Amino acid sequence: MADEKVYTPQVLQDAPFPTEVIQSDVISTGSKEVATPATIQDTKFPHIKSAKELLSNSLNTKSKKILQEFTFAQHGAIKVGKYENGVSGEVNISPDGISARNQDNLDTFVLDGQTGDASFAGQVTILGGVITGEVLVGNTNDDSFVLIDGANNRILINDGTSNRIVIGNVV
């Protein structure tokens, strides 16, 4: 172990007290001079909006109500719940639309914000309402379909080549 290196602490030299003269306001009273520091004007701290103000003005935690409008950033969204396989689902609201998935990771409904398309895994029920326009079951392109046509007051059942049953107006 003759090759071992011995480390010694570095010695720091004492620094002399600065002798530089600092400018100050000097008040002369006869033969004596009193040195006073220069005055610094008061500066106010900026007012910071705290979370307490946000909660009291925008969210009422007691009644659990939103009191003001909130907007999303370009990629902002709201997520309600957290998907956990076999435990819980979630709902997502974003500028692209609204979607929900259940605990089995199946989409239960999707509303596309760009196209307006909607899909539902369960039943669509209207209580005290009216469905207007057309309801198409199937595809009109060479497939069999059922068309409920509210505008022309008719129901068509087609086998893929021709209308087999027509109820209502024939157009």
- pLDDT tens for residues 113-161? 999 999 999 888 888 877 777 888 887 777 889 988 888 889 999 998 8
**Mind spelling out the 3-state secondary structure of 29-43?**
ECCEEEEECCCCCCC
Please report which residue ranges of the chain form alpha helices under DSSP H: 51-58
Expressed in angstroms, the distance from the first to the final Cα of the chain is: 108
**What is residue 128's predicted lDDT score, i.e. its pLDDT?**
82
Of 116, 117, 120, 124, the closest CA to residue 106 belongs to 120
Residue 111 lies in a domain: yes
What tokens were used for 67? Answer: 């009191």
**Measured CA distances, 49 to 30, 55, 56, 59, 69 (Å):** 53, 11, 12, 15, 17
Residue 55 contacts residue 67 (beta carbons within 8 Å): no
Same domain, 96 and 148: no
Under-50 pLDDT residues of the chain: none
Residue 27 inside a domain? The answer is no
Domains held by the chain: number: 2
Handedness of CA 31, 37, 39, 42 (dihedral sign): negative
In a domain, 59, yes or no: yes
Contacts of 158 (CB under 8 A, 6+ apart): 140, 144, 145, 146, 147, 164
Residue 9 lies in a domain: no
Q: What is the DSSP letter of 55?
A: H
Structural domain harbouring 142: 134-168
Q: Is residue 143 part of a domain?
A: yes
- So what's the pLDDT on residue 32? 64
